[in-house]
A and B are shown apart, each in its own frame.
Chain A
Amino acid sequence: MKRSEKFRQANREAKATVLATVAVIAFWWVAGFGLADVDVSYLHTPLWVWGGCLGTWIFAILVTLYLTRCVFVDFDLDDEEDTK
Chain B
Amino acid sequence: MSSFINLLPVLAFLVLMLGISVYVQKASADDRQKNFAKDYFIGGRTLGGFVLAMTTAATYSSVSTFVGGPGMAWIIGYGWLYMAIVQVVVIFLVLGVFGKKIALIARKIDAVTVIDVLRARYKSNFLANFAAIVIVGFFCATMVAQFVGAAKLFEAVTGYSYLTGLSLFGLIVVFYTTIGGFKGVAITDSFCAIAMILGMCLLFGAMMETGGGFDNIMKHISTNHPDMLEPLSRGKMPMSLYISQWMLVGICTLALPQSVVRGISFKNTQALHRAIVIGTVVIGAMTLVATVIGVLSKGILTGDLASYGGSVDNITPLTIVKSMGPFWAGVTIIGPIAATISTVSSLLLAASSSIIKDVYMNHLASQGKELTNESVRKLSLAATVILGLAVYMIAITPPSVIWIINMFAFGGLQTAFFWVLIFGLFWYKANKNGAIAAMVGGVLVYCGSMAMKIKVLDLHQIVIGIGLSLLFFLIGNSFGETVDDETLEIFFPEKFDK
Known: A10-B101, A18-B97, A68-B276. 9 other contacts (CB 8 A): A7-B104, A7-B493, A20-B92, A21-B89, A44-B222, A52-B82, A53-B288, A72-B269, A79-B107
Name A44's contact: one of B89, B221, B231 (CB within 8 Å).
B221
Across the two chains, which residue of chain B brings its CB closest to A25? Answer: B246
Name A33's contact: one of B231, B270, B281, B426 (CB within 8 Å).
B231
What distance in Å separates the Cβ of A39 from its nearest Cβ neighbour in chain B?
11
Chain B, 265-284, CB within 8 A of any chain A CB? 268-270, 272-274, 276-277, 280-281, 284
Q: For the complex, what is the distance from the CA of A7 to the CA of B386, rounded to whole Å?
A: 40
Which residues in A have their C-beta under 8 angstroms from that of B459?
none
What distance in Å separates the Cβ of A67 from its nearest Cβ neighbour in chain B?
7
The binding surface of chain A is classed by DSSP as helix
A78 close to B85 (CB less than 8 A): no
Known: A7-B104, A8-B494, A77-B107. A56 touches B88 (CB 8 A): yes
Task: Encode contact with B along A43-80: 1 for CB under 8 Å, 0 otherwise.
Answer: 11110110011101100110111011000111111110
Name B104's contact: one of A10, A49, A52 (CB within 8 Å).
A10
Flag the segment in B126-134, B191-199, B211-219 that touches A. Answer: B211-219
Which residues in B have their C-beta under 8 angstroms from that of A13?
96, 100
Interface size on A, residues (CB 8 A): 50
B276 close to A60 (CB less than 8 A): no
Name B89's contact: one of A43, A49, A60, A68 (CB within 8 Å).
A60
Which residues in A have their C-beta under 8 angstroms from that of B281?
61
Across the two chains, which residue of chain A brings its CB closest to B84? Answer: A53
Give me 28 A-to-B residue pairs in the complex whose CB atoms sit less than 8 angstroms apart, sorted by A's number: A3-B104, A6-B104, A10-B101, A10-B104, A11-B101, A11-B494, A13-B96, A14-B96, A17-B97, A20-B96, A21-B89, A21-B251, A32-B82, A43-B215, A44-B215, A52-B231, A53-B82, A54-B288, A57-B284, A60-B92, A61-B280, A72-B272, A72-B276, A73-B269, A74-B268, A76-B268, A77-B107, A77-B268
Name B288's contact: one of A24, A48, A57, A64 (CB within 8 Å).
A57
Which residues in A have their C-beta under 8 angstroms from that of B81?
49, 53
Task: Encode contact with A along B100-132: 1 for CB under 8 Å, 0 otherwise.
Answer: 110110011000000000000000000000000
Q: For the complex, what is the distance from the CA of A72 to the CA of B273, rounded to whole Å?
A: 8
Q: For the complex, what is the distance from the CA of A60 to the CA of B108, rounded to whole Å?
A: 33
Instruction: Determine the interface band of chain B, counting residues with CB < 8 A from chain A.
Output: 35 or more
Known: A36-B230, A61-B277, A65-B277. A74 touches B270 (CB 8 A): yes
Which residues in A have their C-beta under 8 angstroms from that of B78?
45-46, 49, 53
Which residues in A have their C-beta under 8 angstroms from that of B328?
none
What distance in Å separates the Cβ of A59 from its nearest Cβ neighbour in chain B?
8
A16 close to B96 (CB less than 8 A): yes
A60 close to B269 (CB less than 8 A): no
Across the two chains, which residue of chain B brings its CB closest to A73? Answer: B269
Across the two chains, which residue of chain B brings its CB closest to A17? Answer: B96
What distance in Å separates the Cβ of A45 from its nearest Cβ neighbour in chain B?
5
Known: A36-B230, A65-B277. A77 touches B493 (CB 8 A): no
B residues touching A (Cβ–Cβ < 8 Å)? 78, 81-82, 85-86, 88-89, 92-93, 96-98, 100-101, 103-104, 107-108, 214-215, 218-219, 221-222, 229-231, 246, 251, 268-270, 272-274, 276-277, 280-281, 284-285, 287-288, 426, 492-494, 496-497
A45 close to B92 (CB less than 8 A): no
Which residues in B have their C-beta under 8 angstroms from that of A36?
230-231
B269 close to A77 (CB less than 8 A): yes
Known: A17-B97, A45-B218. A77 touches B104 (CB 8 A): yes
Which residues in A have their C-beta under 8 angstroms from that of B272?
72
Q: For the complex, what is the distance from the CA of A52 to the CA of B88, rounded to whole Å?
A: 12
A68 close to B288 (CB less than 8 A): no
Which residues in A have their C-beta under 8 angstroms from that of B280?
60-61, 64
Across the two chains, which residue of chain B brings its CB closest to A60? Answer: B88
Which residues in A have their C-beta under 8 angstroms from that of B108?
79
A57 close to B85 (CB less than 8 A): yes
B85 close to A63 (CB less than 8 A): no
B493 close to A4 (CB less than 8 A): yes
B268 close to A11 (CB less than 8 A): no
Across the two chains, which residue of chain B brings its CB closest to A71? Answer: B96
Known: A7-B492, A43-B214, A64-B92. A53 touches B85 (CB 8 A): yes
Task: Encode contact with B along A9-41: 1 for CB under 8 Å, 0 otherwise.
Answer: 111011011101100110010001100100001
Name B269's contact: one of A14, A20, A41, A75 (CB within 8 Å).
A75
Q: 6 closest Cβ contacts across the A-B interface?
A: A17-B96, A44-B218, A57-B284, A60-B88, A68-B273, A4-B493
What distance in Å separates the Cβ of A63 from its nearest Cβ neighbour in chain B?
7
